[in-house]
Structure 1
Amino acid sequence: MSARARSSRFSAAVLPRLRAALAAPPPLSETPPGIASAVLVPLFERDGVLHLLYTKRSESLPHHRGQVSFPGGRHVADADPTLLATALRETEEEIGVAPAHVDVLGALAPIHTSSSNFLINPFVGVIPHPYAFHPNPHEVSEIFSVPVDVLLHPSTGVEEAWTLQGRTVPVATYRHGAHVIWGATHRITTTLLDLLRTLRADA
């Protein structure tokens, strides 16, 4: 690999700038109200390359079963003092990552899911690698990761025609092997990737 190719790869070197970029409050938006929820967008470095970690939801779950997602869930006011606490609690429950092992960089803008009426608050955090995950089989059927560079490659992001609720609609996806990232997880991923592109351009 050439020196130029190596320098274009995303590594942990970008994390201080990402933390600084996420320190500012997310931009105001006209996001409709919904059921408060939060997810962790986990990053880690392996072999000098930055990865995003995803889960595949269990087929037994009531919402978004079998879909690729980030660990997270509904805000429980009695259990969670903040939305960040929700994201960390759910991450530990779903994949066994202790809150103390997450270096939280900041928050992305919330997004709304029209199908389930959730208002999802994404928090970006760095986790150690390697890590002894303990997936909850009732919630998670698989844990996998994708290099940020792969997600940024034009061949990974594809718009497809899907039949949903009897209608053929365009759906934006990221495809990696057998995994298809779409919906709210795609939107959160795209928001983070756009920010990383900007940080690389400004470097």
Structure 2
Amino acid sequence: MKAAQLTLLQKRLPESPGINGRDEYLNSVVLVLLILISGEYHFVFEQRSANIPQGGEICFPGGKFEEDKDLSREETAIRETTEEMGIPADKISIIGRLDSIVAPMGAIVDAFVGVADIDVHEIKANPNEVARVFTIPVDYFQKNEPETYFATVKVHPSYTDEQSGQEIITFPAEMLGLPERYSQPWGKLKYKILVYKTQEGIVWGITARFIYDVINKLSCKN
């Protein structure tokens, strides 16, 4: 590499680093939605309809970032909230964003925090995607710590085809002359899973992580 190329490299290094390999993940966006009820802010949750992926689970509104529809991830958050909860876009105010989550199941989730200027009874959920909408006071999560569990995450160089039962090798470590250990699942990442138990049901996983992030920011003394 010549000196001129070093200068070129320096110019092209990002001012704000992103995530290497982002395009290899499912990129989704959620809106951590707040609503004011009797002078107290509540989180607004939805329970997913039984006939869609992750049916029956509790989450915030959100979905896949679509370049042909959205100019930004903020637009994704608002669009999905409007589609799922029927809240007009002009009734949603974005106040900021949270740190993104890179989930081991192959998704990167970006999150915005927003406030809905609407009465909770005016929310008209899309029954094709949402079984019900409910709120829980932010104060509840400030007073109740989540339970913590762990899942072990490993890298698998092969998988078993469901139809044929044959092993499909996706990373030929032996053929590449790599150490034998890479021909078997490797790694032992302990992925933390947070669980909040509420009267409305279990709130866990990525949704719980975003809640925990908000609560930590509220409790920070600085």
Distance 2:57 2:148 in 1: 17
- 1:31–1:111 contact (8 Å) kept in structure 2: no
Higher relative contact order (CA 8 A, sep 6+): 1
Partner of 2:55: 65
What is the deviation of 1:178?
3.5
- Looking at CA atoms only, which structure, 1 or 2, has the larger radius of gyration? 2
Bigger proportion of residues as strand: 2
What is the deviation of 1:183?
0.6
Q: How does 1:29-44 map to 2 (within 5 A)?
A: 33=22, 34-44=25-35
Partner of 2:137: 147
What is the deviation of 1:157?
2.3
Distance 2:46 2:56 in 1: 10
Q: How does 1:152-171 map to 2 (within 5 A)?
A: 152-154=142-144, 157-159=146-148, 171=193
Distance 1:173 1:87 in 2: 24
Q: How does 1:84-103 map to 2 (within 5 A)?
A: 84-103=74-93
Q: Percent of aligned pairs with the same residue?
A: 28
Q: Is the alpha carbon distance of 1:103 and 1:86 closer, same or farther for their aligned partners in structure 2, counting shifts above 3 Å?
A: same
Distance 1:118 1:54 in 2: 20
State the secondary structure of the residue aligned to 1:100: helix
State the secondary structure of the residue aligned to 1:173: strand
- 2:77–2:112 contact (8 Å) kept in structure 1: yes
What is the deviation of 1:176?
1.2
Superposition TM-score, scaled by structure 1 size: 0.73
Q: How many residues align?
A: 165
What is the deviation of 1:68?
0.8
Distance 1:184 1:160 in 2: 13
Q: How does 1:100-119 map to 2 (within 5 A)?
A: 100-115=90-105, 117-119=106-108
Of the three residues 107, 126, 135, the one matched with 2:115 is: 126
Q: Which runs of 5 or more residues in structure 2 are unaligned? A: 1-15, 152-190
Could you say what the CA RMSD is over the residues aligned between the two structures, in angstroms?
2.3
Partner of 1:15: none
State the secondary structure of the residue aligned to 2:81: helix
Distance 1:121 1:170 in 2: 18
Partner of 2:37: 46
Superposition TM-score, scaled by structure 2 size: 0.67
